[in-house]
């Protein structure tokens, strides 16, 4: 059945498979010491315009989040996030599993607002009992957010300013980073992100790879013993070449960006198709996730032909559902979806 359920329904971009096959019998050392990982790191540093960035390849997003955050946070510290943040809701307590609280603030269309953050921090440090509470130790955002929305460069700069004022590292979860960077409605570049955050990751799993996320600590910023920390959390891949080859391919000839741009184009087609048919959107997402308000009966009928994600109730007669495009979505897929819509 046709699926718009998520952006990890297919395998990997064919160039990755091809490169895996070509390099398959070349003997390489393990644990990220292979030539492909070294090459991929260089290319990522170049794309970030930060020749001193520390780069690590981890095999998945939850791992990246829990490994990075538990390395950043002191024992009494928690991470500040929007209440819709992935680390707060959908990671089965991965952060708490490393003994750290997720401190939540109300989201603004999925975003953490710099003004809200500053107000929270001011109130926290103004409370005479604050040393009986979890200390803020890092700030987590995702870009795109859970709602497919984006931060503007100005918003990131505002967050950076607040984080710097309070000596808090800023961590950007880029599980879908490509789709954010290639949106038509963004002024944020990869070098901006490297400049404005203390650590972020470039998502591979949802952007054309079989698996893998590239964790980047700009300006030689990796915490002490981070390699050992990755190992301890089971996030170190013995055959590091698997991640190295993939990111080396993604960052050759701008493949990461071109396939992300394709997903955006497919999302625009999809959006236009829904709009032309009079559907409302839950919010205006400029990336590959589109949130559509569907009448309940229609949702049920559409389910018979297409897979998509139920998101949340809208009102007594409607629900919000999510359609995700990806590097693998084709124009035929969109046409087929529209046909299914029209078939009612």
Residues 171-230 that bind its own copies (CB under 8 A): 205-206, 210-211, 224-225, 227-229
Other Cβ atoms within 10 Å of 243 Cβ, number: 26
Q: Which stretch binds its own copies (CB under 8 A): 38-46, 63-71, 141-149, 287-295?
A: 63-71
- How many residues of this chain bind its own copies (CB under 8 A)? 82
Smallest gap from residue 36 Cβ to its own copies (A): 10
Site for its own copies in 244-303 (CB under 8 A): none
- Cβ nearer to its own copies, comparing 24 with 344: 24
Check residue 316 for interaction with its own copies (CB under 8 A).
no
CA atoms within 13 A on the CB side of 318: 11
Q: Rounded CA gap, 99 and 76, in Å?
A: 9
Among 84, 145, 197, 237, binds its own copies (CB under 8 A): 237
Helix (H, G, I), strand (E, B) or coil at 85: coil
Work out which of 32, 41, 78, 117 binds its own copies, going by CB under 8 A.
78
How far is residue 86 CA from its own chain's centroid?
A: 9
Task: Check binding of 304 to its own copies (CB under 8 A).
Answer: no
| Helix or strand (DSSP H, E) at 72 | helix 61-72
Site string for its own copies, 109-148 (x = CB under 8 A): -------------------xx-xxxxx-------------
Binding region for its own copies (CB under 8 A) out of 25-33, 41-49, 113-121, 251-259:
25-33
* Rounded alpha-carbon distances, angstroms, from residue 110 to 144, 150, 154, 250, 302: 9, 9, 16, 28, 27
Q: How far is the CB of 17 from its own copies (least distance, A)?
A: 5
Pairing, β 102-105 against β 170-174: unpaired
Site string for its own copies, 42-61 (x = CB under 8 A): -----------------xxx
Q: What are the two backbone dihedrals, phi and then psi, of residue 157, each rounded to the nearest 5 degrees?
A: -65, -40
Region of 66-74, 105-113, 156-164, 251-259 interacting with its own copies (CB under 8 A): 66-74
Q: Give CA–CA dist 266/328, Å, rounded.
A: 10
Residue 112 or 328: which CB sits closer to its own copies?
Answer: 328
Q: How near is the Cβ of 268 to its own copies at its closest, in Å? A: 21
Which residues, other chains included, contact 327 with Cβ-Cβ below 8 Å and sequence gap of 6+?
A: 7, 13, 207, 208, 259, 260, 262, 263
């Amino acid at each position: 059945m046709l699926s718009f359920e998520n952006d990890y329904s297919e395998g990997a971009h064919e160039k990755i498979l091809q490169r895996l096959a070509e390099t398959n019998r070349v003997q390489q050392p393990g644990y990220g010491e292979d030539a492909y990982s070294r090459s991929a790191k260089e290319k990522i540093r170049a794309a970030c315009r930060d020749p001193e960035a520390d780069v690590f390849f981890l095999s998945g997003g939850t791992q990246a989040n829990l490994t990075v955050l538990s390395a950043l946070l002191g024992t009494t510290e928690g991470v500040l996030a929007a209440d819709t943040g992935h680390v707060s809701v959908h990671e089965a307590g991965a952060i708490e599993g490393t003994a750290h609280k997720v401190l939540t603030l109300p989201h603004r269309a999925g975003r953490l607002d710099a003004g809200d953050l500053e107000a929270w921090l001011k109130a926290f440090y103004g409370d005479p009992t604050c040393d009986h509470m979890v200390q803020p130790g890092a700030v987590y955002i995702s870009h795109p957010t859970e709602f497919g929305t984006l931060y503007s460069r100005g918003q990131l700069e505002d967050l950076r300013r607040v984080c710097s004022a309070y000596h808090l590292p800023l961590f950007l979860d880029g599980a879908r980073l490509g789709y954010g960077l290639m949106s038509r409605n963004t002024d944020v570049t990869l070098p901006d992100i490297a400049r404005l955050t203390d650590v972020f990751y470039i998502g591979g799993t949802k952007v054309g790879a079989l698996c893998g996320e590239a964790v980047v600590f700009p300006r030689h910023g990796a915490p002490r013993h981070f390699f050992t920390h990755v190992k301890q959390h089971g996030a170190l891949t013995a055959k590091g070449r698997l991640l190295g080859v993939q990111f080396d391919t993604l960052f050759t000839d701008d493949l990461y960006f071109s396939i992300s741009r394709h997903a955006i184009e497919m999302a625009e087609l999809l959006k236009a198709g829904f709009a032309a048919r009079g559907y409302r959107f839950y919010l205006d997402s400029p990336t590959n996730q589109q949130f559509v308000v569907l009448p309940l009966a229609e949702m049920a009928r559409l389910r018979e032909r297409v897979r998509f994600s139920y998101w949340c109730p809208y009102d007594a007669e409607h629900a919000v559902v999510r359609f995700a495009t990806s590097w693998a979505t084709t124009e035929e897929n969109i046409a087929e979806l529209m046909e299914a819509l029209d078939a009612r």
